[in-house]
Each structure stands twice: as C-alpha cells, then as structure tokens.
Amino acid sequence: MGSRACVSRGKGTMRILGALLLATISVGSLIAAEPDSLFAAGNAAYRDGDYQGAVEYYEAILLSGVESGALYYNLGTAQFKAGDLGRSVAQFYRALRDLPRDDDIRSNLAFAEARTVDRSLVRSELPPLQLLASVSDRLTLREWFVALEGIYLAFLALLAIFLYRPAWRQPVRDPLLFTTGLLLLVLLFAAHAHLERNGARRAVVLASEAYIYSGPGEQFTREFVLHEGTVIRIHRNSEDWVLCSVTEELKGWIPSQSIDRL
C-alpha cells in the first residue's frame, strides 16, 4: 500500500512537472513567435511598398527587446525607402555587427552612403588604424573572442610543454613564438572590436543639416555643417551636447538629438 501510494505520488509529481514543462515551452514559443511574426509582417509591408509600415513593424521587434543583423538590415532598407537616410545608414552599420561579411548589407550601406553629402570627408584616419578597423570589422565580436580563446588555449598548452618538458623545448619553441604573436594580434583586433561596438564611439548624423559649434551650446560659433548620414567619432559628452570629429581638423560640438549613436 505504501509503495502504491509512493508510485501514485510520483505519477502526480511527474504530471505537474510535465504540465510545467509544457507551459514553459508554450510561453517560450509564443515569445519567440512574436518577433518572427512581426518580422514577416514587416517584410509583407515592404513587399507592398508600405515602407513606413515596414519600419514600424521592424521597430516593434526592437521594442520587444531582441535584435538581429537581418532585422537591422531590413529596417535600414525600409528607412532608406521611406526617405530617412541618416537612420538607414545607422541601421546598416548595426547590421554589420552581427553579419559583418554579408554582401547585401555592405552593398546597401555603400548605396546609402553614396547619397550623403559629406561622404568624401570621412576618410582620414591613419593607414594603420584604417587597417585595424577594416580587419576588426570582418568578424563579429563573438567570433573574435572565440578565436582569441582558441589561440589562447593553444598558447597555454605550448607554454606548459615548453616549461615542463625540457626535452620538447626545441620543437615547441617556434610554434610557441608564432602562437604568442598571433595571440597578441588577435587580442588587438578583439579589443578594437569591443571598444568600437560597446564603447558608443561612433554615431551617424540624423539632421539634414547639423551645425557644429565651437562649444557645447548655440551661443558658440558655428564652425561647420554636417549633413544627414555622415559618420562621426564621439569623444565626450556634456549634458545634451557631444564633442565629435569627422577628421583630426574638423572637430566640434553637436546637439545629441541630431545624432544616432552606433
């Protein structure tokens, strides 16, 4: 009797657990289905030529708290079609973070940037920094850290062999040196990628014409003007103003509401 009661109690517990599991799976699938259905609705609106409607669907996904490279790509494309050049450039840059080797994103970004007025100005970093940025942009941040982790493990293994197996020192010496160099290089790229993507050091101008002042306020001198879609570098903030630069020479303060931080 006691054992039957025990079995019965065990079956009840299993049923409750099963129901809980089922509920968890159902809620999880609903949460997952919501962005998917919004994404599909956005795509349908885009297909029908309702670009503003597509933008609203895609932005609703962002409001639900999730993002993806494809989402930013579609949002940027729809915003461009709806006439919002500045925001579309910003979305294409965000899409590249998740899909850095996607040819469609790069193509649309180039297409949008070709329509910006200040396009030819934003190319003045030092060649080594340009190389660093271009290599760093080829992988996602996650990919950089996975690569870093793999190379680091290899480095540790080779180092341990070198230290504790004197007999293997000679054959291990060159691979260890190579791995050390590679590790430092990948560390540099990963650090650059991390700073660029999490440091909010870049932004895109949203206003069709944004004046750059010599100080954080409209009482200062208007030094030059930037146009919609121009990518700027952020240096520091002061209340509602941001110190930014386009090149080493072109540096000044811009209202923070005129830009979209990447």
Partner 1 sequence: MPSFYYRAVMLLMMFVGLVIPAASSAFEVSARIDRTVVDRDGRINLAVTVEGAGRGELEIDLGVPEQFQVYSAGTSQNISIVNGTFSSQRVYNYVISPREPGKYTIGPIVVRDKGETARSEALEIEVTDGGTTPLAQEGRKKTPRPSSDDTPEVFIRSSLDKKKAYVGEQVTLTFLLFHRIRFWSDPEYTPASSEGFWKEDLPPQNRYFEDVGGHRYRVTEIKTALFPTRPGRLVVGPIKLVYEQDRFRSGDPFAAFRRGGSPFRSGGRRVLETDSLSLEVLRLPTVGRPSGFSGTVGRFNFRASVDRKEVNANEPITITVVIEGEGNVKTASIPPLELSEIFKVYDSGTSTETSKKNYRLRGKKEHRRVIVPRFGGNYTLPALEFTYFDPQAERYVTLMSDPFRIQVEGPAFEEPVGKTEIARHESDLRYIKESPGSHWIPIGATTSIVPFILWNLAPLFLIGLVWGIRIGRKRLEGDAVQAKARRAGSITRKALSQAMKLTEDSTAREFSGALSNALTDYFQDRGDLPVSGMTRRELLRELKKRGFQPTLLSRIEEIVQKCDYGRFSEAEFSPDERKSLLREAEEIVWEAERAFREGKGP
**79 binds partner 1 per the rule CB under 8 A:** no
| Site pattern 125..164 for partner 1 (x: CB under 8 A) | --------------------x---x--x---x--xx--xx
Between residue 19 and residue 48, which ones bind partner 1 under the rule CB under 8 A? 32, 35-36, 39, 43, 46
Q: What is the dihedral of CA 201, 206, 209, 215, to 10 degrees?
A: -40
SS3 of residue 190 by DSSP: helix
Nearest-approach distance from CB 214 to partner 1, in angstroms? 23
| Site pattern 171..210 for partner 1 (x: CB under 8 A) | -----------------------x---x------------
Please, which residues bridge with residue 226 across strands?
210
Q: Are 68 and 99 in contact (CB under 8 A)?
A: no
**77 binds partner 1 per the rule CB under 8 A:** yes
- One of 41, 60, 70, 82 touching partner 1 (CB under 8 A): 70
Q: Are 261 and 206 in contact (CB under 8 A)?
A: no
- Residue 260 CA to residue 9 CA, distance in Å, equals 59
Nearest-approach distance from CB 53 to partner 1, in angstroms? 13
Q: Which stretch binds partner 1 (CB under 8 A): 15-23, 113-121, 127-135, 250-258?
A: 113-121
Q: Are 102 and 76 in contact (CB under 8 A)?
A: no
How big is the site for partner 1, counted in residues (CB under 8 A)? Answer: 43
- Residue 159 CA to residue 154 CA, distance in Å, equals 8
Q: Are 112 and 92 in contact (CB under 8 A)?
A: yes
Cα within 13 Å of Cα(52), Cβ side? 1
Using CB under 8 A, list all residues that contact partner 1: 32, 35-36, 39, 43, 46, 54, 62, 65-71, 73-74, 77-78, 80-81, 98-99, 104, 107-108, 111-112, 114-115, 117, 119-120, 145, 149, 152, 156, 159-160, 163-164, 194, 198
